[in-house]
Amino acid sequence: MKTFDEEMKATNPVRRMRERHGFTRADFARATGCPYPTLLRAENGLTSSLPARILEAAELCGEDPATLAGEYAEWAVRLRAAYAKKERD
């Protein structure tokens, strides 16, 4: 059974995009020129919006950056709400 953190991270749009293209984090960073720490922060929900380097990397992969940014923003709202609920429980 997945933990709360694993479930939330598994639904992260940046992580899903990376995995859909068959990349590990390191491979994605090398292939797109996106710094590994930037990718890691985005996948862990530590950014309120997606850094430009992530959006540029998405475009290099044939993804729509605007769609990814919108999906990430929605996911980040759900992540913060889930953490707030977890703290109350």
Q: What is the CATH number of domain 4-88?
A: 1.10.260.40
pLDDT of 10 above 80: yes
Give the contacts of 50 (CB within 8 A, at least 6 positions apart).
14, 42, 68, 69, 72
Higher per-residue pLDDT: 81 or 23: 23
Q: What is the pLDDT of residues 42-78, one digit of tens each?
A: 999 898 889 999 999 999 999 999 999 999 999 999 8
38 alpha carbon, distance to own chain's centre: 10
Ordered by start, the domain boundaries in the chain are: 4-88
